[in-house]
Chain A
Amino acid sequence: MMTIPSTLDPDSLRSAGMQYVRSSRRFIDEATPSELATVLLSSLSLIAAFIGFLLVSSWTVVPFAVFLIATGYGWAKHQGLMARALTLSMTISTLVILGLIIVFIFLRAWPALQYGSAEVFGLNVPGLRMFIQTRWNAAADPIRYSMLPMIHGTVMVTIIATLVAGPLGVAAALFLSEIAPGVVRETVKPAVEILAGIPSIVYGFIGFTVLSPWASDQFDLVGQGTYLFVGIVVGLMALPTVVSVAEDALTSIPESMKSGSLALGTTDWQTMTSITLPAAFSGVSAAVLLGVGRAIGETMAATVMLRNNPTIPDPIFNVFYGYETLTSLVAANYGEATGIQMNALFVAGVILFITVLFISIGSQLIEARMEQKLGGVE
């Protein structure tokens, strides 16, 4: 956890800044000119290579070669310093790459947002029409790229998957950490973790060839593809993650807390519900949120099992007909889409990006809050 509150304070910010200036001045005083020159050359050539890359210049290779040579030389001569410079530049690169991806998907989404703009109180809001109408049709007039059918599909699949993975996962984690004998835990836990490694297309394939036709027969549906079974399959896929993370959280509760509770005469079950689970709540909720994250981002299983025909079912909570999710929209259409349709796929990407961003911020906040309340660390 980062110590966010303390750095937000202007005084401590200023003192941290001054400390940084002082330490960097000391660093420049102490470093030899050769060290400084090497690090400087290495960093500048990396920046030049990055600029060359952005300009799609064929000369990019020159600064990049200089960077490699300077870094190699620095590594041989001044390893400690070079390692510091390298790790810093790698961290910066990661952030820059992420930044570029974000800028790229927003830029590519923009034409579709412009196309889907709508007036509100005389104000032209880009993209608004994509969220107030429900029509998606890329070929027939009027051509519309509403995101609502996909958002609806993603919400449906996520809710069903959470209903499957949440209770099952937490119960299994509780059993493994609190009830099961050691031998069972030692064998089942790794087995569950191996399950998490099964590629999603395998689940999708089983869903497409076995579950979907079966559901279509049993519920007398026209054709195959239901949100119910996609949700169940995605929930099963998320299950190992939930079990594994929740089990870690539950095991990390100190034995002393449980012993104290038991010493007061509670039963095992009472200890679990009143001590272990609340104390591990942050970890357990993080486990469920991770599972939800997987459900939202799950692509292959949803793409092969759904109907890939963006529509909102009637009635809206009809889980027996499954049309499209945000991810399956992109996966099913990226090969064929052109023009605004392609940009509309990027809009789906932007929505996913923002959703996942909020989920991860949310889980961080829950974790921070729980740490404060129960962690005992001030």
Chain B
Amino acid sequence: MASDQSTGSDIVSRRKFLVASGAVGAAGVAGCTSQSDGDGTDETAGSGSTDTSMLNAEGSSTVYPISNTGSAYWNSNSPPDDGEYWGSSGESTVPGWSDLGEPDMNIADYFASLYGFEPTEERSNPPFPTSIGLSHSGTGCKAVRDGKVDIGNSSGPITAELGISESEAQEEYVDHVVGRDGQPVVVSSDVYEAGVTQLTGDQIRQIYQDEITNWSEVGGPDQEIYAVGRAEGSGTDTSFRLNMLGGADAAMPGVDTRKGQNQQVATVIEQNEGAIGYMALAFTSDAVQPIAIDFEGTVYEPDRDAENTIFDSDYPLNRDLHMYTKITEDTPDGTDMREAAFLNMFLTTFGQKLFVEDVNYIPLPTSDIQSEKDKLPEQTA
């Protein structure tokens, strides 16, 4: 797949680029973990002194939808009159368009120009191409450590993935959080309407450990509790045990049904009375209501405007989705201009809506977006 990108021509032709991105897409589907052109040294479209080689990322399948959707939009370099993928047309406007100041530039041209790249003004020909590989969090962290890729995608902290200390991680890597993966606790509508809109963390633990078996014990109707869990040993199951039940190997004798997918959990809770479960936010509805949870005195509410919300990173069932970059001699800040241009795209209303919320993850609250932006180098334009 490298041959198409290392031809040394000054401008990558559109066809070549399409071939290359096709090959990258195929490699991503095949779970290809090796990135032969990952050192970022090959020149593709040299324009002055700025490095415009392909930006490589790889890692977690959880982060993949976010970064790959972003990459697809980036590589399209859609013009501002497109309306569907970028900018505004007579029929539609992309979300967050006015927040960006309605720039009269193609999508990748705009975000790249903020960090000093020359616009190409051509559809499908971004200032520099991006490619996202699909593997695992650990593989992505190792690849960024060994300099094989520019960005390592990980759904777990790099300290756990590489077995390094917190201070070592801070010295060598920059942690860019682009979104959150979370599991609100939900109940069926009959229980919600009967007044169970908030539970304590301990009550949820007791429900899943068979110590509470009737809703009347937590102020609800006299109805047996139907506890729905996720597939045994899955990441979601393990993190629920860890964060709610007190340990990755905590017993869960109260579970009545286990389902592997969010959709199945949603349907089962919708169809049954007295049900409780946990699943991704995107699948909640009137029949499947997220509830507030009281963890040791802090009430996390399912409302974005509340003081503490179930979208916060402190909420025990949430985890940050990371894109790690490495601190090198050339980039003491840890993030070079290409990485910054690409990452910055995710830290906008536009990016959070299209690349995070629309692929069923939790967008960052405004304050977190600002602190993430502060990690990037100064914008030049």
Contact = CB atoms under 8 A, between A and B. Distances in A.
A307 B255 CA distance: 10
Given A209-B267, A222-B224, A309-B255, A335 B260 contact: yes
Interface string B258-272: 111000100110011
Contact of A336 (B231, B250, B264, B275): B231
B271 A213 contact: yes
A338 B136 CA distance: 14
Contact of A138 (B226, B232, B260, B267): B232
Given A139-B237, A222-B226, A307 B231 contact: no
B274 interface: yes
Given A213-B271, A216-B272, A222-B274, A332 B250 contact: no
B231 A209 contact: no
B32 interface: no
Contacts of A308: 231, 257-260
B257 A223 contact: yes
Contacts of B241: 139-140
Of listed B228, B237, B260, residue having the most chain A CB within 10 A = B260
Given A308-B259, A309-B257, A337 B233 contact: yes
Contacts of B250: 140
A162 interface: no
Contacts of B228: 223
B238 interface: yes
Given A209-B271, A212-B271, A332 B258 contact: yes
B256 A309 contact: yes
Given A307-B256, A309-B257, A223 B268 contact: yes
A139 B238 CA distance: 8
B252 A140 contact: yes
A336 B272 contact: no
Interface string B5-26: 0000000000000000000000
A335 B231 contact: yes
Of listed A212, A222, A224, A332, residue having the most chain B CB within 10 A = A222
Interface residues of B, number: 31
Interface in B192-244: 224-226, 228-229, 231-235, 237-238, 241
Interface in A220-269: 222-225
Interface string A203-221: 0000011001100100000
**What bracket does the count of chain A residues touching chain B fall in?**
20 to 34
Nearest to A310: B232
B260 A332 contact: yes
B251 interface: yes
B2 interface: no
A23 interface: no
Given A222-B226, A338-B233, A137 B251 contact: yes
A11 interface: no
B193 to A, nearest CB: 18
A139 B241 CA distance: 9
B233 A333 contact: yes
A102 B226 CA distance: 40
Nearest to B213: A222
A92 B369 CA distance: 63
Given A222-B226, A222-B256, A307-B256, A138 B271 contact: no
B191 to A, nearest CB: 13
Nearest to B236: A336
B135 to A, nearest CB: 16
A307 B258 contact: yes
Interface string B269-298: 001101100000000000000000000000
A223 B227 CA distance: 8
A109 B180 CA distance: 37
A341 interface: yes
B201 to A, nearest CB: 19
Contacts of B249: 139-141
Contacts of B264: 304
A341 B271 CA distance: 30
A224 B232 contact: no
B255 A224 contact: no
A338 B231 CA distance: 12
B298 to A, nearest CB: 28
B260 A139 contact: no
Contacts of B232: 137-139, 333, 336, 341
A104 to B, nearest CB: 21
A281 B211 CA distance: 55
Given A225-B257, A336-B235, 4 more contacts: A139-B238, A139-B241, A140-B252, A223-B268
Interface of A: 137-141, 208-209, 212-213, 216, 222-225, 304, 307-309, 332-333, 335-338, 341
Interface of B: 224-226, 228-229, 231-235, 237-238, 241, 248-252, 255-260, 264, 267-268, 271-272, 274-275
Top 8 A-B pairs ranked by shortest CB distance?
Answer: A336-B234, A223-B226, A140-B251, A307-B257, A213-B271, A308-B258, A222-B224, A336-B231
22 contacts: A138-B232, A139-B232, A139-B238, A139-B241, A140-B241, A140-B251, A141-B249, A212-B271, A223-B226, A223-B268, A223-B272, A307-B258, A308-B259, A309-B229, A309-B258, A332-B231, A333-B232, A333-B233, A335-B231, A336-B232, A336-B235, A341-B232
